[in-house]
Structure 1
Amino acid sequence: MVNKRSGDIVQGDKTGDAPLSEIVKEYIAEKYNKPGAVFLGVVHRLDRPTSGLVVFAKTSKALARLNKMFAERETEKIYWAIVKNPPPKPEDTVVHFLKRNPKQNKSYAHNKEVPESKKAILHYKLLKKLEHYYLMEISLETGRHHQIRAQLSALGCPIKGDLKYGFDRSNADGSIHLHATRLTLVHPVKKEEITIVAPPPHETIWNACN
């Protein structure tokens, strides 16, 4: 498990920036003094401007088991989001149909099914009112492209710094205030249920959430 910084990419892309997967491989090779190529399986991803928990697998067997768990929704992922406006209700389950536009790298939330859309379900609760913003906790029932960003925007709650989904200005470092904070799953080798918690970035607004 790695607590990803906003701005890091999980896997290599056209930018050519060093991905987190390669950094973790180098760390494993050095820490365990492993000669030759290090195996590292990428189980899931987080958007580049998002921070928080990312799972990697050190063996192909663990990768297969983790992939199955994630595909069959046998994990519980909890996110925190700092948003501009309070949600319509203190706690709710929200259903949209998301249609992805690859050219814009953006998903659009619709209240009814439209061609090429996918059903998206999330559960949220309002945790705290901050001085100028609101802290929400989100758990996902589905895993769609930009799901939290698109659905919260559709609720009138754009995430702080997320220009793409309706916030009025970007954060200075290009991040958005969305953090994958907690993950519960069955360990692929030990077969025990484990919960991992990743603290949010050490930064003024996140610090006010504790």
Structure 2
Amino acid sequence: MSLHKSIKINILYEDNHLLVVEKPVNVPVQKDSSNDIDMLTLLKEDLKVRYNKPGNVYLGLVHRLDRPVGGVMVFAKTSKAASRLSDQVRTRGLGKTYVAVVHGKLDSRKGRLENYLLKDEKANRVSIVSPEVKGAKQAILDFYVIGEAKGFTLVKIDLHTGRSHQIRVQFSHIGHPLYGDQRYGNKVNKVGQQIALWSYGIGFKHPTTGEELEFLCKPPDLEPWNWFGEVSDKISNTGCIT
């Protein structure tokens, strides 16, 4: 599917209830202060055209990705599907797997990061704080090292809580900021580098049939991803959606 000049969105799956797509990098999920075209607007316009729908088209936002992050996303085409998928997000029944390239070599081949995060909405910046701080939210992820090259490490991440900027903040906190992250790794990254964080997989129960679904979407064949060979082969050796 191609919309708005050069923006192309690949549809990975679609039925009457779901729309699963590959989000391009640097496209906001929903309208923000930049007023740049966003995923919700693009997809609603496409549904309206393809199905010749009059009036407004419903499309429910179930989860989010940071603007610079690409990869697999699921949207709901009905309010019932949106509600049931949102319940799975709340109860951690919707599994999310990411891949990222981080600076340096990690001490452990696998591990868990647990922190409490606080977001400054005005500055759009997240900090790690004490659990007692008002508004702090628990953030948990598991990581697995799946490759090393050129002083960087490729990690697979199973996300247990979907906090804003979670992966970026937690890896920066342990001294391994993400490649290209200008916000939480500005001391080691160069201006203009694209952040190496990708939504690789989503697993959940179909909101009406209950069928277990899994959708995978590998990162582009570009630096720094291609430093590590075939990323999807490396990921499959560690398993995927949890």
Q: What TM-score, normalized by structure 2, do the two folds share?
A: 0.81
Is 1:11 paired with 2:30? yes
Q: Which one of the candidate residues 178, 183, 192 is aligned to 2:211? A: 192
Q: Distance in 2 between matches of 1:166 and 1:175?
A: 12
Q: 1:108-150: CA deviations, max 9, x gaps?
A: 124x424122221110010101234210011111121211000
Q: Distance in 1 between matches of 2:125 and 2:78?
A: 33
**Is 1:179 paired with 2:231?**
no
Q: Tell me, in whole angstroms, the C-alpha distance in 2 between the residues paired with 1:80 and 1:130.
A: 15
RMSD: 1.6
1:104-115 residue pairs with structure 2 within 5 A? Answer: 104-110=123-129, 112-115=130-133
**Deviation at 1:165?**
0.8
What is the CA-CA distance between 1:74 and the residue it aligns to?
A: 0.4
Tell me whether 1:34 sits opposite 2:17 in the alignment.
no
> Are the counterparts in 2 of residues 49 and 175 from structure 1 also a CA contact under 8 Å?
yes
After superposition, residues 82-161 of structure 1 pair within 5 angstroms as 82-110=101-129, 112-116=130-134, 117-161=136-180
Instruction: Specify the SS of the correspondent of 1:63.
Output: helix
Q: 1:31 to 1:139 in 2, by over 3 A?
A: same
Q: Residues 158-169 of structure 1: matches in 2 within 5 Å?
A: 158-167=177-186, 168-169=188-189
- Aligned amino acid, residue 42 of structure 1: L
Q: Which residue of 1 aligns with 2:44?
A: 25
Q: TM-score, normalised to structure 1's length?
A: 0.92
Match of 1:207 in 2: 226
| Bigger relative contact order, structure 1 or 2 (CA pairs below 8 A, ≥6 apart) | 1
The CA deviation at 1:5 is 1.3
* SS of residue paired to 2:63: coil
- CA deviations 1:145-196 (Å, max 9, x no partner) are 2110000111111001112112422463x63110010011001122100110
**1:207/1:190 Cα in 2 relative to 1: closer, same or farther (>3 Å)?**
farther
- 1:54-73 correspondence runs (5 A): 54-73=73-92
Query: In structure 1, what is the equivalent of residue 237 of structure 2?
Result: none
Amino acid at match of 1:68: D
Same amino acid, percent of matched pairs:
36
Which moved further from structure 2: 31-40 or 176-185? 31-40
Secondary structure in 1 aligned to 2:155?
Answer: strand
Runs of 4+ in 1 over 6 A off after TM superposition: none
Distance 2:122 2:142 in 1: 29
